[in-house]
Structures are given as C-alpha cells and as structure tokens.
Structure 1
C-alpha cells in the first residue's frame, strides 16, 4: 500500500460527495440515465447496421457456439482478428443472460454511459477547485447528443470511453496516493481499453507518462505497463495460434490503411480521402481474386501497400488528414456523407441527425475559449499528460478516419475543457453590484 491520503485530497473528496454536491451529482446522473432510456424506448425497432451488425454476428456465434465467428473478408471459413475482443465478449455475455435481446444490450450501454458521466465528474473534481467545473462537465456529457446516441447503439466506443476515463482517473488518484494498486488498476483499464478498440493503443503512452511524473516513478509505471501486456496476452496468443502471426492488436490496421491511402481515394470531389473497401479496389484485386488469403496474410500485404502509397504521396496524406480532421467535427467538404454513415451505424433517426452538429461546434468553441484562457494565465487545469490523451487520440485518428463517430471518445475531454471556461464566462457576464456611496454606507452603519 502507498502512503495515506493527503489532508487536502481527503477534504476535497469528502466535500465533493457530501451535501449539495452529492445532490448535484445524483441529479445529473439521473438525467443522463433518463435521456438514454428515453432514446432506447423511442427506437424500439432498432436493428444493427455496419460495424454493430458485425459485433452482433461475433457475439451471437460466441454465445451460441462458444466459438469466434469466421472472417468475412478473407478466405471463407478462416479465423478472424479484425474486431478487438472485449466488446463482442461483453455483448455475448449479455446475450447469454438475456436471450440475445438488443434492448438488454442497449440498457447496459446506457448504464455504461451514465458511468462515463460520473467518471468525467470525478476527473473534473480532481483537476479543478471550482465545483461548478465538475457540474458543467458532467452535465454536458449527460446531454451531449453524440454520447447519448452512442449509448443506444451496439458500438465498441460505448465500452471504450468509460475504460479510458477510468484509467485516466486511476492515474490522477495515483498522483495523490502513490502505490502499486492504483497503478495496477490504471494498467488493467488501459489494457482493456486497447482490447476494446485497438486504435487506443497509443493512448497508453500518456497514461504511463502520468504515472512516471512527477519524480520519475519507475515502479508504478512498470506495474501498469506489465498489466497492459498481460491483459492483451490471451488475445495475442490466440491470434498467434489461429492466424500464425504475432498480432497483439488484431488485423484491422492493414485493412484501414489500404482503404484510405490508395489511388482511388486520391480523387477530386467530396469523396476525397473517403475510405474504399480494399476488396473493391482495382489495384487490390490480385489479393482477393481468384484465390483469397487468410486475414494475417492480407493484413501484411494491405499494410505494406498502404504504407508504400503514403510514402510515395506525402502530399495526399497531409491533405487527407486535414479533410478528415474537418469531417470529424462535422464541417468541410464531404462531412455530410461521413455524418450520414455515422448516423446509420448509431441508428439515429433521420429527423434527429441534425441535432449532432450544433452541440459539437459549440463545444469546440468553448474549448477554444478555455485554451485561450489557459494560455493567458499560463496554467493548465490539471497535468499536461491528461490533455495529451485527447491530442494523441486526435492525431492518431485524423490521418486515417474522418467519420464523426470516431471523434466521440474525444467528446468527454472537450466537455472537460469547455467546463473550465463556462464558470469564468458566467462570472464575467453577471452584472456587478455597484459600490455603495459614502451616504449609503453611513446610513447602513447607523
């Protein structure tokens, strides 16, 4: 065990969970749950499409047969490692308990969404002394349409977000109560996050940095790193046996890379840098017809071709990154098509799809206001490594993906940043009381 909690940490935690602050938190969590359940009830005819349909397919196979479903894009009947394992396994467990009901899975997702709201509140309480920051951060996450609709879909981000936020909170707590237990918890949660979405692997680096600083603490950093490796080991061993490849993160990278960095995507118009299925590209036909390879073999070949095209066309990579960056935030050429695909995967009815853009743009504007304030005061609300998490998430996503759905794990951090600006703006806009005159002060004293 590490040393005892500091007096300041104990007082802050006690104050945060007592009295009025506790009522605020319970109220926000209650609203978050009601809104998410209302969305589930309003979309009772939900049917998975796109990625959710594939998660559903894998979960059904595992629940019914105890086996991982085969590939859908390599040699028929061969094993797949295209989807990270954590979310399909969670879905399979829900199906085992409820008889494969989408409603039950969506309710669990709603609860995960409420957990995310609570974690955002706890993180805000750790980095900001003003309790209003935590209320606003949690309130924004409770009602933000992107997060609400996400929690009514069968998408892995629903599990990824609370795992990532939980790892961040564990690192923050470790800074006040150093010890191996919180470091182990941070590592396990980070490993599970990577096992939920392999694209989250780079986010482990800022988390380990948070454990290492201040004081260059090697032991907790090593504990967390080992925990990440151990969590991913079963999936790595399974892939080595089934696909005869060392694939700790699965076979998704090559498919994604070749789908964007290719000649067909490098064309004019709104479809510039939009992903093309590799099996439908002319330049990739030799990999798929007449004979098909296993996923491990295809991943290696697709990765090599995608990287080669990127090296030969660096200008395209730069322009594609810019286009994706705009589309992630629902602006720029081609954003409407990207938003449409995201909305279909998240099962958002057509009449409600327009609700996504204004809140996101408002959140970005408030975040920019907050960043300007941080620069002027030369002080960040919280450690630098914490804000490196959303930066790394954005930097690793934009070169390959422009779908707004992939921005959603960033939204809780945008809410945190925006929440630091809202109380300051409110204080500035609030009319100040006029100073009493000398006669008024004399009357008051008499």
Structure 2
C-alpha cells in the first residue's frame, strides 16, 4: 500500500466525497435553522439566558443570581452573535458549524490512520449519523464536545506518527481539553486518559516539555473559572455545581436505568427549596449517597442497568417529547450498523493495522460506560464518544477497499516472457 502524507491525502480526497460533504454541510445548516427554533428544551434557554446576562453586564448568572450550575465554555461561545444583535435563531449556526468542523476532522483522522484517501468517508458519515444531526440542531454543548474529542484524536494520531508535538500543538491540545471539560464536565475522564496517553507516547526526551506545556494550557482556563467561583460564590468549584443533582437523578427510589433527568425527585427539590445553590447540591449528593448505602442491592442492580443503557440505541427526550417508532428504529439501526462496522474494521486489521490512537479511543468509548453510570446514562450524553465509532466505520471502509484491491491483484494472472501463464 502506498503511504501518503496527511497533506497528500487531503489533496486526494475523492471528488464524490467532497461534493457529498459540501451538500450535507449546507443541509445541516439549513435543517438546524429550520427545525431548531423555537428552542425546545429548558437547557437551551438557560444557556441563552446566561449569555444574555454576560452581554447585559449582569455577570455569569442564572435565574437572577450568580451561578456555576452550567460550565462557562458553551454560553461564552453564544455571546458574540447575541452581542451584535443577531436573531436568536442564528445561534443554531454554532452547533451546525461545529458538527461540520467535527466531520472534517473525522475525515482527516480516518484518512491518516488508514493511510487511504477513502478514510475521508468519515466526513459525510459524521453528518448523516442521526444523533449528530440531532445535536447539530440544538443548543446543547455536545456539539463542541464532539469537535473537541476529534481535535484531541488528531493530536494523538500525530503522536502516533512522530512521537512528539511542537509547543503550539501541545498548547492547542491543552486548550481543546480545557474547552471540552468546561463545556461537558463528564468529558474529564476522557481528557485525563488522553493527556496521560499523549505524555506516555511522546519520546522520553520530550515528555516533561509536553506535559508542562499541555498541562499549563489545560489548567489556566480551569483555574480562571475556579477563581471566579471562589470570588463570586465563596467556595471552590472546579467545573460546575450540577454533580449533586445529577448523582441524585441517577440514584434514588424512582430512578430507572434510562430515566435520566425524568426521574421524579420532587420530594428532594421541595425540601431544598429555600437552600442556597451550593447547599442544595450538597444536599442532593448526601441524599443520593444515603439511598445507595441503605439500598445496596437496588443500587447495584440500577448501576448495572445504567451501564447497559449506555449502549442503548435510543432514549426518548426527558422533556416528554417523542419522535415515534421511526426515531427508535433509526437510532437502533444506525448504532448497530456502527458497531458492526467496528467489528469489520477489527477483522480487517491484517490489511490496515490498528493504530495505537484507535485502541485508545475505542477503550475510552467502552470505559466511559461504567464511569457515566455512576450518575446516569443517556444516548445524548454518549454522543461525543459516538464519533469514535463513526471514524472506525470509515476506517473499515478504507480497509475493505485495500482488502478488495489486494484480492483483485492476487487474481490477475502474470504472463511469462514466453507468453505462457
């Protein structure tokens, strides 16, 4: 197989894939602007409320008071459009454009790992994957988390090839990691594994430099946010104050493996009505831990169910909206198809070797199941990690092309000088 540089593979993107990706990019933007407004979910409106508060000079606040309930990266990203007076509908451009960026990065990763231009099929696959399309039409931070995840994989694929990164690349990786966890705090486990892997895979003489620059770029934004929380809220909060509520949603007598935020915790919210936001979250955490201690078998059974639910093809929105049987079947069909593609990719490892970065991100996908299940699992919250399966599916396509090409060459008879076969 001819080895191409990443620049050559970018130049050699099949025209059909370029055209399809361009068409799907425009379709994603149009669909987001049409179907994503008016905003459908409470979380979306809360992010906009925080962004408007920043523009109005009221600080980072929610429901009339300072907050750390929502981490800051996503609201900050919404502020520029609102600041110039753009209609609220145009905010849907942001998740749509982020999914397009993620698609391009997915194509670059798959083509680099597979050393085949057909790895670029990852780009259109990212844009047609139903869960990605859904996230691209909502003001959820999973869009930026997906782009960050693939940005980190790009860094890892570079380490795979060169065993080193420049100072700028180290700084970029650290900043991407910081944005990821300051958008979706559950990404902290993924970011930690990637950071350790990058340092470990770097050549020994450059490890300390890589760790120092990447770590500094990661820590500085988190430190700024934590200092703000100490000054404004009077307590140290590294990411957000939502962990107590999330722990309770996933661990109480009304929770089921797939209930998520639809679990009834009204008894607890009523008791916490007059508490400060910090005390409220501490109360929720203590009540969740108390339920686990008092109901260990039920808690264990629920935990196992939540781990299994991580691999669910479809969860109905917690808002109670339903998309019908079609959405359920489509969700399951596409997820099973991705898993099958990953199996095929592994089977074809003889033709396209599995890169170290692939092993890392497949492990991350699997290991997030027991980690996320401590709180609760939903297909939407798994979504950034589904990008791993999409990239693997594209590598499977590239590996299949290599396999078929080798079979064809093996079947072509070779003529001797005398004309005999």
Aligned to 1:251: 241
State whether structure 2 residue 43 is matched by structure 1 residue 17. no
Equivalent of 2:30 in 12, 17, 38 = 38
- Assess if the C-alpha contact under 8 Å between 2:262 and 2:318 holds in 1: no
C-alpha spacing 1:183/1:308, structure 2 compared with 1 (3 Å): farther
Aligned to 1:296: 278
How many Å apart are 1:284 and its aligned residue?
A: 5.9
Question: In 2, Cα distance between the equivalents of 1:62 and 1:208?
Answer: 32
Q: C-alpha deviations, 1:236-292, integer Å up to 9, x for none?
A: 111112222111111011110011111232xxxxx456246799443564333xxx2
Equivalent of 1:401 in 352, 360, 376 = 376
Equivalent of 1:101 in 82, 88, 91 = 88
Aligned to 1:416: 391
Question: In 2, Cα distance between the equivalents of 1:171 and 1:66?
Answer: 40
How many Å apart are 1:88 and its aligned residue?
A: 1.0
Question: In 2, Cα distance between the equivalents of 1:44 and 1:152?
Answer: 5
State whether structure 2 residue 291 is matched by structure 1 residue 309. yes
Report the secondary structure of 2:59's partner residue. coil
C-alpha spacing 1:200/1:152, structure 2 compared with 1 (3 Å): same
Aligned to 2:126: 141
Report the secondary structure of 2:62's partner residue. coil
Equivalent of 1:286 in 245, 248, 271 = 271
C-alpha spacing 1:57/1:284, structure 2 compared with 1 (3 Å): closer
Question: In 1, Cα distance between the equivalents of 2:319 and 2:109?
Answer: 28
Question: In 1, Cα distance between the equivalents of 2:189 and 2:412?
Answer: 58
Question: In 1, Cα distance between the equivalents of 2:316 and 2:263?
Answer: 22
Question: In 1, Cα distance between the equivalents of 2:83 and 2:259?
Answer: 37
TM-score normalized with structure 2 length? 0.84
- Assess if the C-alpha contact under 8 Å between 1:251 and 1:296 holds in 2: yes
- Assess if the C-alpha contact under 8 Å between 2:99 and 2:147 holds in 1: yes
Aligned to 1:268: none
Question: In 1, Cα distance between the equivalents of 2:19 and 2:259?
Answer: 42
Question: In 1, Cα distance between the equivalents of 2:410 and 2:268?
Answer: 73
Aligned to 1:69: 61
Aligned to 1:83: 70
Aligned to 1:208: 195
Aligned to 2:105: 119
TM-score normalized with structure 1 length? 0.80
Question: In 2, Cα distance between the equivalents of 1:22 and 1:432?
Answer: 21
- Assess if the C-alpha contact under 8 Å between 1:183 and 1:224 holds in 2: yes
Equivalent of 1:223 in 213, 233, 251 = 213
Equivalent of 1:341 in 307, 318, 321 = 318
Residue pairs, 1:356-435, within 5 angstroms:
356-371=331-346, 380-383=354-357, 384-425=359-400
Question: In 1, Cα distance between the equivalents of 2:258 and 2:317?
Answer: 16
How many Å apart are 1:233 and its aligned residue?
A: 1.6
- Assess if the C-alpha contact under 8 Å between 1:320 and 1:399 holds in 2: no
How many Å apart are 1:120 and its aligned residue?
A: 0.8
Aligned to 1:74: none
How many Å apart are 1:378 and its aligned residue?
A: 11
Report the secondary structure of 1:213's partner residue. helix
Between the two proteins, the alignment pairs up a number of residues equal to: 412
- Assess if the C-alpha contact under 8 Å between 1:279 and 1:285 holds in 2: no
For the aligned residue pairs, the C-alpha RMSD in angstroms reads 3.5
Question: In 1, Cα distance between the equivalents of 2:326 and 2:44?
Answer: 19
